[in-house]
Amino acid sequence: MGAKRPARREFLRTGATLAGGFTLGAAAPALGQVPAQPPMIKGEREGEIGYGARSKYVTSSRIPHGGRPSPDNFGLTFHVASPLQDSVGVITPSSLHYFATTRGAYLPDIDPRQHTLMIHGLVDRPLTFTMDDLKRFPSVTRLHFIECAGNRASRRAKTVQETHGMTSNAEWTGVLLSTLLKECGFKSSAKWFVAEGAEEVKGASSMPIAKAMDDAFVAYGMNGEAVRPQNGFPLRLMVPGFEGILHTKWLQRIKLVDRYYMNYNDYGHLDQDDKVAALGYQIGPKSVITFPSGDQRLPGKGFYEISGLAWSGGGAIKQVEVSVDGGKKWNKAEFRGTPQRMAHCRFAYPWNWDGNETEILSRCVDEIGQVQPTREQIAKYWNKPYDQTFSVPGLDNSIQPWKIASDGSVTNGLA
Amino acid sequence: MGWRRRLAFAFASLMCVPALAQGPPYGIGRTPTAEELRARDISIGPTGGELPPGKGSAKEGAMTYRAKGCAGCHGAGGVGGSAPILKSRDPANPDVWARGRILPLRAPFATIVWDYINRGMPLNREGTLTADEVYALTAYLLFINGVIPEDQVLDQQNLAQVKMPLGDNYASLPEWKPHTQRLKGYPY
């Protein structure tokens, strides 16, 4: 029976091709006739029935970030960026969600029936939860972005995928960490917690207990299905608004401790300057125009809806402004949907391009009043000269300019 | 269930609340065994409380460094390989921050070096080193950076006592609170 299937599929595929060829060859319908059909997908070609595939005409895909290939010659993956230039709405499809490993790594292939989360340390009752256990607790479902600390624009980057593609936004489902910590009876001496994954290096990060009791949760769901392996299947920690690396993937252990542990991932955060350290934990308010953006081309003057994404680790986005004249005048953008806390929100601004060379930019303000700065403002804050080589200390949330030439071509304004 | 029984049940449930507040609210999950706890408890804090028994010296570590292939990526003596360097090229500089991003030099606690090697090395053979080998490699890397003498044997008791050159010359994280900006006054 099984052996017959490929033959049948082959027949269907051939049939579909024939049908397609037939339709394409047909002449335009005469007046009053039914319009010609497009080519048809028949049966289970490309997985339309079992697990839906997108159209073969849609080719938007992730790319390796920062020049290191993923996978490399050894099958190791490192940083992979999301195609923001093709995004619409606010959800990043799981297949296009950015992902990163702390160093080139193989992805763990975890059997969820074997996976457990252990919570111990400064608790009355250390407990181990199976995945089935976790799904019995009251759940939360929330829209949240995750952004890598390495998501910084440079003058060498061409597209918005290269400048900003290390952030994505998904609907995550799981159990509040506070629910689990209450189940374990956490002690008042617990000031920090260490979250640890099950991958080869058991990547660990220390975070304040205040975050655990506020809005952190352990997620088993992503965009309506199980979390993808690249994003931590079967369980990842969500610490909304904190930098990406702290959203511990393949989560298998949480230990409550009395001090900052400075293990593995924490060592990467070791800094000399208190102010830089403060800028390296919670993501600042950030926005970027995704259309029109680098490497795209406007076919001619006329109407366009400028569209982009805005997000902040400090809460919901309160306002986005767009400038179409290089930052001289700022215009309030509209939201598409209601901005959520620590989530991408989609903004839009109606624009009639007059065909002249210009520069377009966006900036945002979040619900606690933090404002997205220009690179010049950041340089001034650090008393450093501003030029093309200026690198933003801490996480980079600076304004991204896109230049539009009179032929409609769009390029990186930092170049 | 009749309404009287339902009412009685609801009342009984209400009476249970004070008792539940003392114990686990949902009663889900099981208590891990001591062995399960020990096996997973690998994050070594600054006091070294989680360190396993074992010991090693710089001389033993130099042999382990060659035998386990560390030199293949990090270079003989900690420099000259494709992986991050492990020995400062500027050892005389009094400013530790200026000597480069070198784990066994810049780490504020020697336990960080032990933890890093133990969980992260060697690449693609993580978790294969014995505790003694990790103590020895830690001693070797601290020795080549001038942190400890060559003959010092590191163990479960004295590792956390090693005085690292950075001292407390590093940034502390601000106390995080919800709905609070990350750095007051930034960028204007």
DSSP bridge pairs for A351: A304
Q: Judge contact between A175 and A216, C-beta under 8 A.
A: no
Local confidence band at B22 (pLDDT 50, 70, 90 cut-offs): low
Task: Spell A356-367 as b/e; 16+ CB within 10 A means b.
Answer: eebbbbbbbbbb
Local confidence band at A66 (pLDDT 50, 70, 90 cut-offs): confident
Q: Rounded to the nearest 5 degrees, what angle is found at the Cα of A49, between the Cα atoms of A44 and A52?
A: 110
Spell out which residues of chain A touch residue B40, defining contact as CB-CB under 8 Å.
118, 196, 252-253
Local confidence band at A17 (pLDDT 50, 70, 90 cut-offs): very low
Tokens of B49: 């409380």
Q: Residue B113: which of B144, B147, B137 has the closest Cα?
A: B137
ipTM (interface predicted TM): 0.87
**A271-302 pLDDT, tens per residue?**
999 999 989 889 999 999 999 999 999 999 99
Beta strands in A84-243 (DSSP E): 99-105, 116-121, 127-130, 140-147, 167-176, 192-197, 204-208, 217-222, 225-226, 236-238
In the numeric block, the tokens 């920062």 are attached to: A66
Local confidence band at A41 (pLDDT 50, 70, 90 cut-offs): confident
Give the global pTM. 0.89
A104-108, A339-343, B6-10, B98-102: range with lowest mean pLDDT: B6-10
**A346-389 pLDDT, tens per residue?**
999 999 999 999 999 999 999 999 999 999 999 999 999 998 88
Q: Judge contact between A360 and A402, C-beta under 8 A.
A: yes
Q: Which residues, numbered 272 to 331 in chain A, qualify as contacts with chain B under a Cβ-Cβ cut-off of 8 Å? A: 272-279, 281-282, 284, 313-315
Local confidence band at B17 (pLDDT 50, 70, 90 cut-offs): very low
pLDDT of residue A18 exceeding 70, the answer is no
Cβ–Cβ of A204/B172 closer than 8 Å? no
Report the mean per-residue pLDDT for chain B. Answer: 89
Report the mean per-residue pLDDT for chain A. Answer: 91
**B131-147 pLDDT, tens per residue?**
999 999 999 999 999 99
- Tell me the mean pLDDT in the region A41-54: 79
- Tell me the mean pLDDT in the region B160-181: 93
Task: Spell A39-76 as b/e; 16+ CB within 10 A means b.
Answer: eebeeeeeeeeeeeeeeeeeeeebeebbeeebeeeeeb
Local confidence band at A29 (pLDDT 50, 70, 90 cut-offs): low
Spell out which residues of chain A touch residue B180, defining contact as CB-CB under 8 Å.
314, 368
Which amino acid type is present at position A23?
A: T
pLDDT of residue B8 exceeding 80, the answer is no
Spell out which residues of chain A touch residue B171, defining contact as CB-CB under 8 Å.
270-274, 276-277
Beta strands in A5-123 (DSSP E): 63-64, 77-81, 99-105, 116-121
Which amino acid type is present at position A71?
A: P
Spell out which residues of chain B touch residue A313, defining contact as CB-CB under 8 Å.
182
Q: Which residues, numbered 182 to 241 in chain A, qualify as contacts with chain B under a Cβ-Cβ cut-off of 8 Å? A: 182-185, 194, 196, 200-202, 204, 208, 210-211, 214-215
A271 touches chain B (CB under 8 A): yes
Cβ–Cβ of B126/A120 closer than 8 Å? no
- Tell me the mean pLDDT in the region A313-325: 98
Q: Identify the pLDDT of residue A22.
A: 42
Which helix (H) or strand (E) element contains residue A319? strand A317-323
| DSSP label at residue A16 | H
Out of B120, B127, B179, the one facing A368 most closely (by C-beta) is: B179
Q: Identify the pLDDT of residue A6.
A: 42
Q: Identify the pLDDT of residue A63.
A: 96
- Tell me the mean pLDDT in the region B151-168: 97
Distances (CA, A) of A31 to A25, A36, A37, A69: 18, 12, 15, 54
Q: Judge contact between A278 and B174, C-beta under 8 A.
A: yes
Q: Which residues, numbered 22 to 61 in chain A, qualify as contacts with chain B under a Cβ-Cβ cut-off of 8 Å? A: none
pLDDT of residue A20 exceeding 70, the answer is no
**B82-128 pLDDT, tens per residue?**
999 999 988 888 899 999 899 999 999 999 999 999 999 998 899 99
Spell out which residues of chain A touch residue B116, defining contact as CB-CB under 8 Å.
264, 267
Cβ–Cβ of A284/B42 closer than 8 Å? no
Alpha-carbon gap, residue A329 to A14, rounded angstroms: 58
Q: Identify the pLDDT of residue B106.
A: 95
**A398-413 pLDDT, tens per residue?**
999 999 999 999 999 9
Spell out which residues of chain B touch residue A183, defining contact as CB-CB under 8 Å.
24-26, 28-29
Which helix (H) or strand (E) element contains residue A1? none
Q: Identify the pLDDT of residue A11.
A: 40
Alpha-carbon gap, residue A280 to B170, rounded angstroms: 14
Residue B95 Cα, gap to closest chain A Cα (Å): 11
- Which of A103, A128, A398 should one mutate to test binding to chain B, selecting the residue with the greatest count of B CBs within 10 A? A128
Residue A363's Cα: distance from chain center in Å?
19
